[in-house]
Amino acid sequence: MYRFLIRRLIFSIFTLIGATVIVFSLSRVVGDPRLLYAQEGGYGLSDQAWDDLGVMLGLDKPLVVQYFKWVGQVVTGDLGESLLGRVEVSKLIMQKIPATFQLGAVSWVIATAIGIPLGVLSAVKRGSFWDYLGRGFALLGQSAPPFWIGIMAILLFSVRLDLLPAGGKGEGFSGIQNFILPSATLGLAASASYLRLTRSAMLEILDSEFVKLARAKGVGTQMVIWKHAFKNALIPPLTLSALILVGFITGTVVVETVFTWPGLGRLAVTSTNENDFPVMTGVVLVFALMYVVINLITDLTYAIVDPRIRIG
């Protein structure tokens, strides 16, 4: 168990190091960062001002030295200042994280509560009306793009019926109605993925020999489904669950843009459109950190759910 833990921690550290290398390399591939500062300033720079700006940004040093200096600042939480508002990037990100976490958490709960039970029902009722209904739902959920679902939901429930707000959010969870459309839009595709994977895993387990033996010994249907089949079929949905959660937190760019949600996804789009380099790199690093942390937690959960992983 401890070796498993140590290996995963080492892999996570190397992943984060790789993410910093990629982010730093991409920041230099697009050109000299001073060009972005000069462009945002709206004026020409003299040679002396250009050199002074390079010294301030540390561009007068070799790339390797620049990288380690930048990593040292990141480790201490210093992500620089935004170009437009001259606001600390770390503070800007901390302001946006709660909205993204709230939307991601609500969407994840909705997707899990709908997708996994439907997947179990579809597998248990194989070949029945419920099975075909579940498979049709999965096909619809995975084929319809989220931006289209979001726009159609706004047209129907906000414009036509005037039942729900079209975008934005209230303070905290006070405006619960603001969560309905964006979280349902995110949860639809995820619940379809849950359904397909859970159904496939359950069918494989239900056709296995130990389940047939349990039925032959007279074990009740509910016991067979939930204790024998579902528990052993839980690993694939658990893996998908972590990926969906981190995807909701880091990949809600489209939905946050459609619903004008004040989260990290919308911040990433805005900073990209405005060439706000420090904000872009800060958001990407936060996304990478979230992926690593949630995947590490998932790996540890494997060892709890399936003892064979601890033995391995």
- Asked whether residue 125 falls in the same domain as residue 50, the answer is no
- Asked whether residue 138 falls in the same domain as residue 175, the answer is yes
- Asked whether residue 101 falls in the same domain as residue 70, the answer is no
CATH number at residue 105: 1.10.3720.10
| Residues whose CB falls within 8 Å of the CB of residue 292, separated by 6 or more in sequence, listed in order | 12, 15, 16, 19
Domain annotation covers residue 284:
no
CB atoms within 10 A of CB 54: 15
Domain annotation covers residue 311:
no
- Asked whether residue 136 falls in the same domain as residue 233, the answer is yes
Mean per-residue pLDDT, 279-295: 82
Closest by Cα among 106, 37, 43, 55 to 245: 106
- How confident is the model over 111-148, as pLDDT tens digits? 889 888 898 888 888 888 888 988 888 888 888 888 88
Confidence of residue 303 (pLDDT cuts 50, 70, 90): low
Domain annotation covers residue 214:
yes
Q: Are 157 and 163 in contact, with CB atoms under 8 Å apart? A: yes
- Asked whether residue 37 falls in the same domain as residue 124, the answer is no
Domain annotation covers residue 56:
yes
Confidence of residue 236 (pLDDT cuts 50, 70, 90): confident
- Asked whether residue 105 falls in the same domain as residue 147, the answer is yes
Q: How many domains does the chain have?
A: 2
Domain annotation covers residue 137:
yes
Domain annotation covers residue 310:
no
- Asked whether residue 113 falls in the same domain as residue 189, the answer is yes
- Asked whether residue 165 falls in the same domain as residue 263, the answer is yes
Average confidence score pLDDT of the chain: 79
- Asked whether residue 67 falls in the same domain as residue 216, the answer is no
- How confident is the model over 159-184, as pLDDT tens digits? 888 888 877 775 555 567 888 888 88
What per-residue confidence (pLDDT) applies to 42?
A: 46
More confident call, 198 vs 60:
198
pLDDT of 227 higher than 80: no
- Asked whether residue 64 falls in the same domain as residue 114, the answer is no
What per-residue confidence (pLDDT) applies to 312?
A: 47
pTM of the model: 0.73
- Asked whether residue 112 falls in the same domain as residue 50, the answer is no
- How confident is the model over 22-53, as pLDDT tens digits? 877 876 676 666 666 565 444 556 777 777 77
Domain annotation covers residue 36:
yes
Q: Domain range for residue 13?
A: 2-75
Sign of CA dihedral 106, 202, 297, 292: negative
d(CA 265, CA 278): 15
Domain annotation covers residue 288:
no
- Asked whether residue 252 falls in the same domain as residue 132, the answer is yes
More confident call, 225 vs 64:
64
